[in-house]
Amino acid sequence: MKKKKTIILGIETSCDETAVSVLEHENNKRPKILSNIVSSQFDIHEKFGGVVPELAARSHLEKIDLITNEALKKSKININKIDAIAATAGPGLIVCLSVGLNFAKALSVSLRKPLIAVNHLEGHALSPKLNSELKFPYLLFLISGGHTQFLSVDGLGKYKRLGTTIDDALGEAYDKVSKIMNFTYPGGPIIEQLSKKGNKDRFKLPKPIFYKGGSNMSFAGLKTAVLRLKNSLKTNKDKCDLAASFQKTIIEILIKKTKNAIDEHIENYPSNRSLVVAGGVASNKEIRKNLKKLCNQENFEIFFPNIEICTDNAAMIALVGLEKYKKKKFDSLDFEVKPRWPLDRKAKFLKGAGVKL
Ligand code: KG4
Ligand code: ZN
If one residue of 45, 126, 144 were mutated to test the ligand 1 pocket, choosing by the most ligand atoms within 8 A of its CB, it would be: 144
Pocket test for ligand 1, best of 168, 174, 179, 254 (most atoms within 8 A of CB): 174
- CB-based contact 218:165 (threshold 8 Å): yes
Q: pLDDT by residue (tens digit) across 309-343? A: 999 999 999 999 999 999 999 999 999 999 999 99
Give the nearest ligand 1 atom to 17 CA: 3
Could you give the 3-state DSSP secondary structure of residue 39?
Answer: strand
What average pLDDT does the structure give for the chain? Answer: 95
pTM of the predicted protein model: 0.96
Protein residue with least CA distance to atom 3, ligand 1: 311
pLDDT band (50, 70, 90) for residue 46: confident
- Same topology for domains 6-127+309-326 and 137-304, yes or no? yes
CA 278 to ligand 2 centroid distance, Å:
9
Pairing of strands 32-40, 17-26: antiparallel
Instruction: Please return the burial class of 67, using the count of CB atoms within 10 Å of its CB with bins 0-12, 13-18 and 19+.
Output: buried
Give distance in angstroms: CA of 164 to centre of ligand 1: 17
Verify cis geometry, omega within 30 degrees of 0, for the bond prior to 186: yes
Instruction: Give residue-wise pLDDT tens across range 94-111.
Output: 999 999 999 999 999 999
- Ligand 1 near 163 CB (within 6 A): no
Q: Could you tell me the strand order of the sheet in which 32-40 lies?
A: 32-40, 17-26, 5-12, 84-90, 115-119
pLDDT of 356 higher than 80: no
**Alpha carbon separation from 304 to 44, 68, 274, 284, 307 (Å, rounded):** 30, 27, 11, 11, 8
Atom 14 (ligand 1) nearest CA: 188
Q: Is the CB of 283 under 6 A from ligand 1?
A: yes
Domain locations along the chain: 6-127+309-326, 137-304
Is 280 close to ligand 1, i.e. is its CB under 6 Å away?
yes
Nearest to 135 by CA among 292, 276, 289, 282: 276
Query: Domain 6-127+309-326 falls in which CATH fold?
Result: Nucleotidyltransferase; domain 5 (3.30.420)
Which helix (DSSP H) or strand (DSSP E) does residue 46 occupy?
A: none
pLDDT at 1 over 60: no
186 Cα nearest atom in ligand 1: 14
pLDDT at 2 over 60: no
279 CB near ligand 1 (under 6 Å): yes
In sequence order, the β-bridge partners of residue 165 are 217
Cα–Cα distance between 56 and 40 in angstroms, integer? 10
Ligand 1 nearest atom to the CA of residue 121, by list position: 6
Task: Report the 10 Å Cβ neighbour count for 38.
Answer: 18
Q: Which ligand is nearest to the CA of 284?
A: 1
pLDDT at 47 over 80: no
**Degrees to nearest 5, angle at CA 63 with 61 and 68:** 110
Ligand 1 atom 19: the closest Cα is on which residue? 188
**The residue count for the chain:** 357
Per-residue pLDDT at 166:
97
Is the CB–ligand 1 distance for residue 12 below 6 Å?
A: no
Which CATH number fits the domain 137-304, given the four candidates 3.40.50.300, 1.10.1780.10, 3.30.420.40, 3.30.565.10? 3.30.420.40
Ligand 1 binding pocket includes 213 (Cβ within 6 Å): no
